[in-house]
Amino acid sequence: MPARAPEILNPKPLNPKAPLPPLINSALKFQLSGFRFQPFSFSVFQPFPPMSSLVRHARIWLASIRYSLVRAMMFRGDFLMWALVEFFWMGANVLLVSVIYDHTDSIAGWTKYEMLLLVGTTQLIQRLLMAFFWSNLFELGRNVRSGHFDFFLAQPGSPLFMVSTRKFDLDGLVNVPVALAIVAYAAHRLQLTPDAAQLAAYALFVVCGLVLHYAMLLAIISLVFWLQSAKGIEGGYFGLTEFSRMPREAMRGVAAIVFVYALPVIIVSNVPSRVLVHGIETGQALWLFGATVFWLAVAVGIFNAGLRRYASASS
């Protein structure tokens, strides 16, 4: 695939022998209420930050989104190319389902349009992951190795928040309506009539699936603080997400242990899809919530430990 457009801003590591610019110097002394920010003594966040901190961070995130949108419009060709690449990738997944079901009526108990609903849900969560978090987390590895991570430590916010939200990829988001259309079409062919509670549960479980993907990806990428290299992780994790379009019932033996329990990518899209087909299932919901909370705690813990170990480029 062609490379992404170069960054407009290319922050450089801090030079310990040069005086700090006024903005950076002020940032190093900055303290958010409930989010204590210190350059090399980290307390990333507290469980319940004050509303003023949440509002401040929301404003920072909106500013990052505005910057990313402006940047996307400056590189329109790059934006259109990647949007089309993702669109055709989604089309290939739908076509694959059609071809497979030309030769069978059911896979692990899932009919053609149930499988299409599962694939559409998988694509929806993947597009949201690509839009909000994918580029940010994979740049973490490069920034730690190059020393550009210092740039995030000098920002007026939680380092984890700044690392996770600096960029927003519009090309991923523009295909979200396409994924929703696939889900709606499959539901129509299945003659499903979900009520408001099912639709709300579906949306909630999609968000949980997004957070679960984010947490697992953050945990893996944060190992760069020890390994000093994240080569191969991007392609490897993208391949891992493709397992989420498989039915839970198709997983047996070692595959079930790895992809259902150890790295629970299967439940990311299976649980939301089952809500529309079978209604709200308490056990499935608790399983998804539990996995999301567990992996988020693990990811934040690994990231915080990496911050304490990080050696600044200025040290």
- The per-residue pLDDT for range 169-192, each reduced to its tens digit, is 887 888 899 999 999 999 999 999
pLDDT tens, residue by residue, 187-212: 999 999 999 999 999 999 999 999 99
Q: Residue 241: its pLDDT value, please?
A: 77
- Residue 261 is predicted with a pLDDT of 86
Length of the chain: 315
Q: Give 14's pLDDT tier (boundaries 50, 70, 90).
A: very low
Main-chain dihedrals φ then ψ at residue 19, nearest 5 degrees: -65, 140
Decide if pLDDT at 10 tops 90. no
State how far the Cα of 38 lies from the Cα of 153, in Å rounded to an integer. 8
- Residues paired with 32 in a beta bridge: 35
Question: What share of the chain has pLDDT > 90, as a percent?
Answer: 34
Per the confidence metrics, is the pTM higher than 0.85?
Answer: no
| Lowest-confidence region among 28-32, 275-279, 286-290 | 28-32
Lowest-pLDDT range of 58-72, 159-173, 229-243: 229-243
Nearest Cα to Cα of residue 180 among 116, 246, 109, 245 = 116
